[in-house]
Amino acid sequence: MNDKKIMKEILFLQNISHVYNQEDQKIKVLNNINLKVFKGEMLALTGPSGTGKSTLLNIAGLLETPTFGFVNLAGKNCRDMNEDHKSYLRGTQIGFIFQSHRLFPEFSAIENVMLPQLIMGISKKEAVSKSKELLTILGLEKRINFRPAKLSGGEAQRVAVARALANSPNLILADEPTGNLDPASALNVFNLLSKLVKALDIGCLIATHNHVLADLMDRRITIDNGSIKN
């Protein structure tokens, strides 16, 4: 690993182990995971269902605190951060994309992209401008006033990509983002996301079952039974 890459590290998951306490049962999910995500790279996270991919993304996104180990995001160790600090870091550094678009049905495409910006205190004028710009890059300039129900699956997921990028994050965490799409739409959403990750020089960690897409990414990490498989 060269110095340039060390400079560009956005996420470092260090010795992450996770155990869920389900009633009186302990469910060991992750076992000493170490991984880094660098700016400008697409990193695929693959592995069978139930192996801990979503858990790892939730830990990386500071939504779940790991039982053991450290999450270093944008050079900050998040282990002992309070919830306010974590939520600020999440809002400014991370964009999330899920398998289903999770857009608000009563809001238009542009309003869905504006919302996270307004929550972070951006002015309405700036939020409109940024949202239009992102939706245009994603080929949705003619759909900005459409509600999610009037969009195709691929279009709705492109709005979700725009929303994830709305606050100019340095890291995208995507959990099966094309899992609900037909192969052509999946490839289209993936290609757009990939181009934006490169153009904006941000890191992107994508859990996926799609081996075609995993093969198109810069690197792939496979988890099996809670551990990284080499």
The binding site for ligand ADP (CB under 6 A) comprises 20, 22, 27, 29, 47, 49-55
Nearer to ligand ADP, 94 or 114 (CB): 94
Q: Choose the contact partner of 51 out of Mg ion, ligand ADP, none; CB within 5 to 8 A by kind.
A: ligand ADP
Smallest gap from residue 32 Cβ to ligand ADP (A): 16
Helices within 100-165 (DSSP H only): 109-119, 124-137, 153-165
Smallest gap from residue 45 Cβ to Mg ion (A): 10
54 binds Mg ion (CB under 5 A): yes
Nearer to ligand ADP, 67 or 129 (CB): 67
Pairs from 184-188 (Cβ < 8 Å, separation ≥ 24): 185/152, 185/153, 185/154, 185/157, 186/154, 186/210, 186/213, 187/212, 187/213, 188/154
- Could you say which DSSP state residue 69 is in? E
| Element containing residue 216 per DSSP (H, E) | helix 211-216
Q: Choose the contact partner of 226 out of Mg ion, ligand ADP, none; CB within 5 to 8 A by kind.
A: none
Smallest gap from residue 175 Cβ to Mg ion (A): 6
Rounded to an integer, what distance in angstroms lies between the CA atom of residue 177 and that of residue 185? Answer: 11
